């Protein structure tokens, strides 16, 4: 059982999750059959797929036509027909254990022992579902998130009897359809993501129930001060208050009184018009930054961190998997383990111990793994170790970017794919720190790109600037100037959106290469703002006043071909040619004379702000400085000998 043996897939269920998984499967190049119990369910699901694919095609977000993807999808209401030739079956039926038992009992009869059987359940134990078959080693969880087409994360979950072979095949298949898998190595309730999000919604609800906080205080603090995509009560209204209620009830977990009151009153959130906020007669989730007050955010995050300690300490998932899960599955601004190491695990433990002593509530009891880390002095970043080990890092530690320095190439990756690599204060500070700390003698050139396949960077993370003093925002962002002034050539590798602050970062680079599907824009004017990272000035210098003002004043996007035509980027290339084109540029930069490139960059940058006479004088001085270097001697000799020069930067 391996990825190589998976050619055809069957998806059982045509609802939101079923038709979404079917679409993802077909987009990944697989033949897939979607099955449901009634023809009208199947027809509705297929129509939803058609509509979605047409929209993706219109936006050029898929590499082939909608019709080509649809040609790989079959539909049926006959279960035996659907799974007869399937190598992988993904069950996406309603969350009813008896129903799933019936389905898997039939799958035992209709499939061979080599067929991989997966369930998309979000709340039922994989092991309980696998009880219906005689071969539980081939049963695993593949938990997609809603909507599957947009959400990158898939939890690959072991049941008690799931074989490593089956889990690995599932993991590799998830990667093959362009999603990001994480292993959940034990069949714990809530898996990874829901284990962490439980306290995010539950603890504020207890605090409000006990009169220790208000709904708006909780939401404003967690969204505007702590950077979460929305407050816990707004999130509950969006997903349905009854959903969290039933998950807690099924898990025999305590239910906050305010949650129980809302369910009894059938005020379940947006779907009923009223929940924690009023969406019919009120303004909905209308909390503002000033509503935050003195809400105890550490109490909430300490509980989330304690659950992370449970997952890591019980070998359910690694810190990296936990953090990937909450960032991609929940849109958290950073991983909860990374955030814990920033706060300090000793502070987290102290908070939990105080609450446990005061209340006696089991939910505050510190997990032994958290206690163990603190006892060993592994309290986080400042101590050099916590959930993560920071002791061996030559630079950093960095949470929102990855870097690799090898053979003179410093490759930087903006690593916030769940936020389309939006530029937060932390990410900008890390870019600045890396480029000011690295030994430039070890660097010949730099590349900057975005993680994931959607964006170089879609702009500034507005939520991350909520607690920033406006006076501080009036200063030029150091990161952009650091990139602009770095004494080696910097190349932006752009694939996808390059907007707002992302465009300003690209403008600070010396060279820009983009895929044809990329788009560029300065949309800040739509927020009543202007570019604040040098965009107005660099755009004017690169494009000229007319085109720069068009971008800034209108706030529209332009495609890569127009960007190349305007001179905003150096090349617009097909995705298949992107890496090769970048490599050609990097080879030239890497093999070029380091001192010569440094002087050329400095003279060209500074010459823009000088008179022509002054700029020519700078150029002449630069030429004079270089003429006596060993690199010039090597270049001259290589030219005479008809060979490639080997510059040493001397």
Rounded distance between C-alpha atoms, residue 289 and residue 285, angstroms: 12
261 catalytically annotated: no
DSSP state string for 223-255: IIIS--SS-HHHHHHHH-HHHHHHHHHHTT---
Neighbours of 378 (CB within 10 A): 19
Rounded distance between C-alpha atoms, residue 243 and residue 604, angstroms: 60
List 91, 381, 504, 564, catalytic entry: 504
Could you give the 3-state DSSP secondary structure of residue 557? strand
Assigned token pair, 294: 């003195």
Alpha helices in 71-149, H assignment, sequence order:
79-83, 97-110, 126-130
The per-residue b/e assignment along 87-120, b for 16 or more CB within 10 angstroms, e otherwise, is bbbbbbbeeeeeebbebbeebeebbeeebbbbbb
Assigned token pair, 583: 């490599």
406 catalytically annotated: no
Assigned token pair, 633: 């001697």
What kind and span of H or E run contains 584?
A: helix 575-591
List 91, 137, 203, 524, catalytic entry: 524
How large is the C-alpha radius of gyration of the chain? 28
Rounded distance between C-alpha atoms, residue 383 and residue 341, angstroms: 9
Which strands form 571-573's sheet, in the order they lie side by side? 401-406, 409-414, 445-450, 490-494, 511-515, 571-573
Assigned token pair, 358: 């005061």
Rounded distance between C-alpha atoms, residue 277 and residue 89, angstroms: 40
Rounded distance between C-alpha atoms, residue 364 and residue 366, angstroms: 6
Burial of residue 475, with CB atoms counted within 10 A of its CB: 0-12 exposed, 13-18 middle, 19 or more buried: exposed
Q: Where are the extended beta strands (E) located within 36-176? A: 73-76, 88-91, 116-119, 139-144, 153-158
CA separation, residue 184 to residues 25, 173, 322 (Å): 21, 16, 9
- Enzyme catalytic residues: 504, 524
């Amino acid at each position: 059982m391996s990825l190589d043996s998976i050619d055809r897939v069957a998806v059982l269920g045509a609802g939101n999750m079923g038709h979404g998984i079917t679409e993802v499967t077909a987009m990944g190049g697989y033949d897939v059959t979607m099955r449901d119990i009634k023809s009208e369910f199947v027809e509705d699901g297929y129509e939803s797929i058609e509509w979605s694919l047409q929209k993706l095609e219109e936006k050029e977000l898929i590499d082939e036509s909608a019709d080509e993807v649809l040609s790989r999808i079959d539909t049926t209401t006959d279960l035996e027909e659907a799974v007869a030739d399937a190598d992988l079956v993904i069950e996406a039926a309603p969350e009813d254990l008896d129903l799933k038992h019936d389905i898997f009992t039939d799958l035992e009869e209709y499939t061979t022992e080599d067929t991989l059987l997966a369930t998309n359940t979000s709340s039922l134990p994989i092991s309980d579902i696998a009880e219906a078959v005689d071969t539980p080693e081939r049963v695993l969880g593949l938990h997609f998130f809603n909507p599957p087409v947009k959400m990158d994360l898939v939890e690959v979950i072991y049941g008690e009897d799931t074989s490593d072979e089956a889990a690995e095949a599932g993991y590799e298949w998830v990667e093959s359809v362009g999603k990001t898998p994480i292993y959940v190595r034990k069949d714990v309730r809530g898996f990874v993501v829901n284990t962490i999000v439980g306290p995010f919604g539950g603890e504020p609800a207890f605090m409000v129930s006990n009169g220790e906080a208000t709904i708006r205080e909780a939401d404003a603090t967690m969204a505007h001060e702590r950077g979460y995509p929305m407050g816990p009560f707004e999130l509950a209204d969006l997903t349905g208050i009854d959903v969290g209620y039933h998950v807690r009830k099924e898990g025999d977990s305590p239910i906050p009184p305010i949650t129980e009151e809302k369910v009894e009153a059938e005020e379940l959130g947006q779907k009923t018009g009223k929940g924690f906020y009023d969406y019919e007669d009120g303004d909905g989730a209308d909390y503002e930054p000033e509503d935050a007050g003195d809400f105890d955010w550490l109490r909430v995050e300490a509980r989330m961190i304690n659950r992370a300690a449970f997952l890591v300490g019980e070998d359910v998932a690694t810190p990296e998997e936990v953090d990937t899960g909450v960032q991609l599955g929940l849109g958290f601004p950073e991983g909860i383990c990374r955030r814990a190491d920033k706060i300090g695990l000793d502070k987290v433990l102290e908070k939990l111990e105080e609450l446990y002593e005061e209340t006696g509530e089991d939910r505050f009891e510190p997990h032994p793994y958290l206690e163990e880390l603190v006892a060993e002095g592994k309290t986080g970043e400042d101590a050099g170790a916590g959930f993560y080990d920071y002791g061996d890092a030559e630079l950093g530690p960095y949470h929102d970017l990855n870097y690799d320095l090898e053979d003179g190439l410093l490759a930087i990756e903006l690593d916030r794919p769940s936020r389309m690599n939006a530029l937060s204060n932390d990410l900008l500070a890390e870019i600045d720190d890396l480029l000011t700390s690295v030994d430039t003698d070890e660097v010949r050139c730099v590349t900057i790109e975005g993680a994931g396949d959607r964006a170089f960077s879609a702009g500034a993370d507005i939520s991350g600037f909520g607690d920033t003093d406006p006076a501080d925002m009036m200063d030029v962002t150091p990161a952009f100037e650091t990139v602009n002034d770095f004494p080696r050539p910097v190349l932006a590798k752009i694939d996808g959106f390059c907007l707002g602050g992302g465009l300003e970062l690209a403008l600070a680079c010396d060279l820009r290469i983009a895929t044809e599907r990329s788009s560029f824009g300065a949309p800040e004017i739509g927020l009543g703002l202007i570019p604040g990272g040098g965009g107005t000035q660099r755009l004017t210098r690169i494009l000229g006043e007319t085109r720069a003002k068009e971008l800034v004043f209108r706030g529209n996007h332009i495609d890569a071909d127009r960007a190349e035509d305007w001179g905003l980027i150096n090349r617009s290339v097909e995705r298949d040619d992107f890496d090769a084109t970048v490599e050609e540029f990097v080879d030239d930069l890497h093999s070029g004379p380091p001192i010569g490139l440094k002087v050329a960059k400095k003279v060209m940058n500074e010459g823009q702000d000088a008179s022509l006479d002054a700029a020519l004088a700078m150029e002449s001085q630069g030429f004079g400085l270089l003429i006596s270097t060993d690199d010039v001697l090597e270049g001259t000799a290589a030219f005479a000998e008809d060979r490639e020069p080997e510059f040493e930067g001397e």
